Amino acid sequence: MDLSYDGTNYHGWQNQPNAISVQSCIEKALSLLTKVETQIFGAGRTDSGVHAIKMCAHFDSNLLVDLSKLIYDLNSFLPKDISINDIYEVNDDSHARFDAISRVYNYKISLNKDVFNINRSYFINNVMDVDLMNQACAILKSHTNFKCFSKSKTDVKTYNCEIVNAQWVFKHGKLVFTIKANRFLRNMVRAIVGTMIQLGLKKISLDYFQEILISQDRTKAGPSAPAHALYLLNIEYPKEIRSNE
């Protein structure tokens, strides 16, 4: 299942007690339409307020259904801020989270006050040194352990990630950060962005940015950037995951 959502009204992707999540909305709709209680498994978790241009999830079903009709019915039933873009059959042992080979995130910063994007970009009314921020991107790609940018008290076995690309560019009047990696730690992108903003504002030096990475200490890094300007842009899978490939 490929889907998109505006995360403004949700407490993140994952099910949680006493809070509305994207996952719970889709599970409720899917179970109602198929008349079988169905659990879906996402490719990862997005925090409260984070958006997704493309999130992927999988579910198991023995029902023979018209997938085009199921997409139409789900979109008719789901809230306007969640869209099912595609549903397709994959191999029986496929998993949306564990089979993903890369993920891409965007973070958008508005340099001018934009009242129509209050919940979709982070407004910073200061001049930032983007060249310095891109030098930090090069440093970032030379490291593999990102414990300094991970949410504390997380249950991961390793803090290692392989960052394939990281870059700041001006696009459509906004400063946009794009980062691609094989995996991300909880809160990692927002912690990186928050630290790079401090660098761009000359509150920390490039040498100190390097020290943060070497330290593996989250307390040395900057504050997490606000969630509402973060987008899960894409998730990549091997071609062979589809059952007809």
The residue extents of the domains of the chain are: 2-98, 102-234
- Per-residue pLDDT of 165-201, as tens digits, reads 999 999 888 999 999 999 999 999 999 999 999 999 9
Using N-to-C axis directions, what is the helix angle for 130-141 and 188-200, rounded to 10°? 140
Instruction: Give me the pLDDT at residue 225, please.
Output: 97
d(CA 114, CA 124): 11
Q: Which of 2, 6, 47, 81 is catalytic?
A: 47
In the structure, what pLDDT confidence band is assigned to residue 46 with cuts at 50, 70 and 90?
very high
With a threshold of 0.95, does the pTM exceed it?
no
Task: Give the rounded percent of residues in the chain with a pLDDT score beyond 90.
Answer: 86
pLDDT at 11 over 80: yes
User: For position 197, what pLDDT does the model report?
Assistant: 98
Please check whether the two domains, 2-98 and 102-234, share a CATH topology. yes
Q: What is the pLDDT of residues 194-228, one digit of tens each?
A: 999 999 999 999 999 999 999 999 999 999 999 99
Q: What does the pLDDT read at residue 244?
A: 65
**pLDDT, averaged across the chain:** 94
User: Which of the pair, 154 or 136, is modelled with greater confidence?
Assistant: 136
Q: What is the pLDDT of residue 130?
A: 96
Mean pLDDT of 64-93: 94
Fold of 102-234: Alpha-Beta Plaits (3.30.70)
What does the buried/exposed string (b/e) look like for 205-225 if buried means 16 or more CB atoms within 10 Å of the residue's CB?
eeeebeebbeeeebebbbebb
Output the pLDDT for position 155: 75
Identify the weakest region by mean pLDDT among 40-44, 113-117, 201-205: 113-117
State whether CATH 3.30.70.580 applies to domain 2-98.
Answer: yes
Among this protein's residues, is 93 annotated catalytic? no
